[in-house]
A and B are shown apart, each in its own frame.
Chain A
Amino acid sequence: MMVLGHDHVRVDGRDKVTGVARYGVEKRPDDALHAWAVRATVARGRVTGIDTEAALATPGVVEVLTWRNAPRLEDADDDELQVLQDDHVAYRGQVVALVVAETLEVAREVASTLDVRYETEPHDVALAIDHPGLYAPEQANAGADTDSARGDVEEGLASSSHVVEAVYETPALFNNPMEPHATVAWWEDGALRMVDSTQGTTPTAQTMATLFGLDEPQVRVTAEHVGGGFGSKGTPKANPVLAAMAAKVTGRPVALAWTRQMMFGLAGYRTPTISRVRLGADADGRLQAISHEAFSQTSRLEEFTEQTAEYVRHMYDSRTALTTHRVTQLDVHTPSWMRAPGECPGAYAIESALDELAHTAGIDPVELRRRNEPEVDPETGAPYSSRQLMACHDRAAELFGWAGRDPRPGVRRDGHWLVGTGVASSSYPAMAAPSGARATALPDGTFRVGVNATDIGTGARTVMLQAAAEELKVEPEQVDLHIADSDLPHGAVAGGSSGSASWGWAVAKACRALRSRMATERVPDEGLEVVVDTAEDLKGRASLARFAYGAQMVEARVDVRTGEVVVPRWVGVFAAGRILNPRTARSQLLGGMTMGLSMALHEEGLLDERFGGWANHDLATYHVAANADVGDLTIEWLPEDDGELGPLRSKGIGEIGIVGAAAAVANAVWHATGVRVRSLPIQPDKLLDRLPG
Chain B
Amino acid sequence: MTQPPASAFDLTVNGTRHALTVDNRTSLLDLLRERLRLTGTKKGCDHGQCGACTVLVDGRRTNACLTLAVTLDGREVTTVEGLADGDDLHPVQQAFLDHDAFQCGYCTPGQICSAVGALDELAQGWPSHVTDDLTGEVEPSAEEVRERMSGNLCRCGAYAHIVTAVQEAAR
Contact = CB atoms under 8 A, between A and B. Distances in A.
Q: Majority SS of interface residues in chain B?
A: loop
Interface string B132-164: 000000000000011101111111111111110
Contacts of A10: 97, 100
B155 A106 contact: no
B102 A628 contact: no
Contacts of B94: 17
Contacts of B83: 18
A181 to B, nearest CB: 12
Given A103-B34, A590-B160, A628 B109 contact: no
A109 B30 CA distance: 14
Nearest to B160: A633
B80 interface: yes
B47 A19 contact: no
B30 A627 contact: no
A228 B46 contact: no
Contacts, number: 188
A26 B39 contact: yes
A228 B100 contact: no
B100 A179 contact: no
A122 to B, nearest CB: 32
A180 B81 contact: no
A78 to B, nearest CB: 25
Q: Which 8 A-B pairs have the closest CB atoms?
A: A19-B40, A594-B157, A227-B106, A457-B104, A16-B105, A457-B103, A591-B157, A19-B80
A217 B160 CA distance: 43
Nearest to A594: B157
Given A109-B25, A178-B52, A590-B161, A618 B106 contact: no
Nearest to A630: B159
A625 B155 CA distance: 8
Contacts of B112: 17
Contacts of B156: 178, 228, 457, 587, 591
Interface in B21-44: 23, 25-26, 30, 33-34, 38-44
Q: Which of A13, A16, A456, A620 has the most CB of B within 10 A?
A: A16
B7 interface: no
A63 B17 CA distance: 35
Contacts of B15: none
Given A177-B106, A586-B100, A17 B45 contact: no
A592 B157 contact: yes
Nearest to B34: A104
Chain B contact-residue range equals 35 or more
Contacts of A358: none
Interface of A: 9-10, 12-23, 26, 54, 57-59, 103-106, 109, 176-180, 225-228, 230, 257, 259-260, 456-459, 583-584, 586-588, 590-595, 598, 618-620, 624-630, 632-633
Given A178-B44, A260-B44, A620-B47, 13 more contacts: A9-B100, A13-B97, A26-B39, A105-B23, A109-B25, A177-B104, A260-B47, A457-B156, A584-B100, A587-B158, A619-B153, A627-B154, A627-B163
Contacts of B70: none
A17 B93 contact: yes
Contact of A228 (B4, B103, B162): B103
Contacts of A106: 4
A199 to B, nearest CB: 11
Contacts of A178: 42, 44, 50, 52, 104, 106-107, 153-156
A627 B157 contact: no
